[in-house]
Amino acid sequence: MLTPAHVEKVGELLREFKAFQAKFEELKDDEFIHNKILIDLLADHLQARKQLKPLEVIRYLDNN
């Protein structure tokens, strides 16, 4: 059952996401930083999904 604590947690996550999104928009004009952010996001996703180490993520990116 959904509780007020759940609603607060969703609100907190949404605020964090909006802050991240604003920071990303601020930095994306610099192509190098933009690409690094995208690689970092993909690496985080792959690590979370497959529990890969950073070097394994780089190898995965190189091979795909």
Give the DSSP per-residue string, 4-28.
Answer: HHHHHHHHHHHHHHHHHHHHHHHHT
Can you give the pTM of this predicted structure?
0.41
Residue 9 structural domain = 4-63
Can you tell me the mean pLDDT for 2-8? Answer: 78
Confidence of residue 8 (pLDDT cuts 50, 70, 90): confident
- Rounded to an integer, what is the distance from CA 27 to the centroid of its chain? 14
**Count of domains forming the chain:** 1
In this prediction, residue 59 carries a pLDDT of 72
pLDDT in tens, 17-64: 888 888 777 766 677 777 777 888 877 776 666 655 666 666 767 776
Task: Answer yes or no: are the C-beta atoms of 43 and 51 closer than 8 Å.
Answer: no
